[in-house]
Amino acid sequence: MPLCLPMIRRLKSPHLFGAIDRLPALGRPVGNKTFEVVNPSTGEVLAELPDMGVEETRAAVDKAYVAQSGWAALTARERSDVLWRWHQLIIDHAGDLAAILTAEMGKPLAEAISEVSHAAAYLQWYAEEANRVYGETISAPSTDRRMLVIKQPIGVVGTITPWNFPASMVARKISPALAAGCTIVLKPAEQTPLVAGAMFALAHQAGFPDGVVNLIYASEGDRVGRELCTNSKIRKISFTGSTEVGRLLMRQCSDQIKKVSLELGGNAPFIIFDDADIDGAVDGAVQAKFRNAGQTCVSANRIYVQSSVHDE
């Protein structure tokens, strides 16, 4: 089913987000298994999505693999233009994206709007970074040789994003890969897949060729993660989440010596010295500890105060 009717009525563009369970980026689900996405504040069922598994993931990887050579063959400017169009569409629909994000994740609307702007900023940066992929000329050991470094896309990239920043992490992971000429398969967190689906609806409007961006909805991330890590057509994995899961993914990638980027649990002291603005430090400590209800990888997990200002 699409987004629930009360949710759709709150959006300015319901026609755009009313069928995120049938996106071109999803491919064809196998079977009839579904899972619910629930508003954590009210318990309202926001959507019932196809629960995809190994077979759908493998099909998405195959699709990305076929599309990759054509996407890489475009000029950097052509790829940049598509990313720029996607960026503008996200800006144009920021209110709807933020409303969906708040409904499925629970953060205040003002923070959701800020996150969507952050996501758009990633696309803006990498749209231009696509044009700044420079090689190198290296001094050769003899005059009859010339040594060059040419940077090329690695291939298909598998990405797994967390629930706490479900819009910005999507943009942060896939926009550099797309700018470089890679194709992607994204598995968003099962708690917050809707804003990813909405962003992919806009990506389709922006004009990404078929198979360049691929989306997997799944309630059991371990099966999808294992397929992404062990599928030989995936050349790189990018994951943000817990240290425990990061270790597991690294082990699963090790047989193929696959490139892996991991952003895992943080270790974040908050330190106040005697030359600090105490009122400002208190405000900063509250924000560092309780931002996003404390659910960030850089949330302060201990506070050190110089003894001379402790009682202040």
Domains of the chain: 5-135+148-263 (3.40.605.10), 269-309 (no CATH)
The C-alpha atoms of residue 185 and residue 66 are separated, in whole angstroms, by 13
How far, in Å, CA of 126 to CA of 26, rounded? 24
What per-residue confidence (pLDDT) applies to 267? 83
Cα–Cα distance, 259 to 5 (Å, whole number): 42
Contact assessment for residue 227 and residue 58, using Cβ atoms and an 8 Å cutoff: yes
Tokens found for residue 60: 């998405």
Q: Please confirm, yes or no, whether 263 is among the known catalytic residues.
A: yes
Nearest Cα neighbor of 177 from 203, 149, 198 is 203
What per-residue confidence (pLDDT) applies to 31? 80
pLDDT tens, residue order, the chain (312 aa): 556 767 777 888 887 776 677 788 887 788 889 999 999 989 999 989 999 999 999 999 999 999 999 999 999 999 999 999 999 999 999 999 999 999 999 999 999 999 999 999 999 999 999 898 888 889 889 989 999 998 899 999 999 999 999 999 999 999 999 999 999 999 999 999 999 999 999 999 999 999 999 999 999 889 999 999 999 999 999 999 999 999 999 999 999 999 999 999 878 888 889 888 888 888 887 887 777 666 777 777 788 888 888 777
Query: Cβ-count burial of 181 within 10 angstroms (0-12 exposed, 13-18 middle, 19+ buried)?
Result: buried
Q: Catalytic: which of 111, 229, 263, 312?
A: 263
**Residue corresponding to tokens 């598509």:** 82
Cβ–Cβ < 8 Å for 183, 156:
yes
The per-residue pLDDT for 229 is 97
Which residue among 4, 48, 111, 297 is the active-site one?
297
CA pair distance 176, 53, nearest whole angstrom: 26
pLDDT at 275: 87
Does 297 participate in catalysis according to the annotation?
A: yes
